[in-house]
Structure 1
Amino acid sequence: MKVRGLRGATTVKANDREEIWRATRELMEEIVRLNDIDVDDVASVILTMTADLNAGFPALAVRQLPGWQWVPLMCAREIEVPGSLPRSIRVLVHLNTDKAQDELIHVYLGEAVQLRPDLATR
C-alpha cells in the first residue's frame, strides 16, 4: 500500500460561511464517491482557499462529514498569483491505497474545472 495524493477544487459565488461549507462538503463527498474511499484510509487533508475567502474554515465542513472527525485536517491560504481563479477552495487528500496514480479520480467542480481540464473531463 502506498500513500497517494488526491486533488480537487471547487469555487463559490460569495464569501459566505454556509456557501464555503456547502461547496467543501460537495467536493469531498464527490472525491470519496468517485474513488470509493474509506475514511480510515485517509492519512490527512490539506485545504486551501484564495485570499478573497475568509468567512469560514473549510476543514470544519469536512469534520462534519460522518467519520471524518479523527482525520488530521489543515487549512491554509492559497498563494496570490495575479490572474488566478478567484473564490476557490482546493484540497489535497493524502490517501493510503493500492490504486495506481493514474487510477485516482481528481475532482474539479464549478469554475475550478479550468484549473485542470485534462483531469476534470475524466
Structure 2
Amino acid sequence: MTIRGIRGATTVVQDEGEAVLVATEALVREMAEKNRLVPEDIISVLISTTTDIKSAFPARAVRSIEGWTYVPVMCTHEMDVPNSMPFCIRILMHANTSIVQKEVHHIYQNEAIQLRPDLRK
C-alpha cells in the first residue's frame, strides 16, 4: 500500500446550496467507487471551489455519507483566475491504496470534463 492523490472535479449550474451538496457527494462517491476505496482508506479530502460558490460548504456533503463522518475534510477557494471555469468544485483525495499511479481513476463530471480531457479512460 502507498498513499495516492486522486483528483476530481465537477460543476453546478448556479450557486445553490443543495446543488453544491448533491454534486459534491456524487463526485466523492464515484471517486471512491472507481478506485475501490472505503472510508478507512481515505487519509484526507481537500475541496476547493471557484469563488462564485458561497452557498454551502461542500465538506458537509462528504461528512453526510454513511461511514465518512471521521474522514478529515477541508474546504477552500480556488485562485480567482480570469476566464476560468465558473461554478467548479475540485477535490484532491489522499488515500492508502495498492493501485499503481497510472491506474488511478481521476473523475471529472459535468462541464469539468473539459479540465483534463487527457485523463479520460
Q: What secondary structure sits across from 2:69 in the alignment?
A: helix
Q: Which runs of 5+ in 1 are unaligned?
A: none
- Corresponding residue for residue 25 of structure 2: 25
1:30 CA drift (Å): 0.8
Q: In structure 2, what residue type is equivalent to 1:92?
A: L
* TM-score, normalising length: structure 2: 0.98
1:100 equivalent in structure 2? 100
Quote the residue 2:111 is aligned against: 111
Once the two structures are superposed, what CA deviation does each residue of 1:6-60 show, in whole Å capped at 9, x if it has no partner? Answer: 0000000010000000000110111111111111010000000000000000000
- Identity among equivalent pairs (%): 45
Residues 34-113 of structure 1 mapped to structure 2, 5 A cutoff: 34-113=34-113
**Aligned residue number for residue 6 of structure 1:** 6
SS of residue in 1 equivalent to 2:82: coil
Calculate the TM-score normalised by the size of structure 1: 0.97
| Paired residues, number | 121
Alignment RMSD, CA only? 0.6
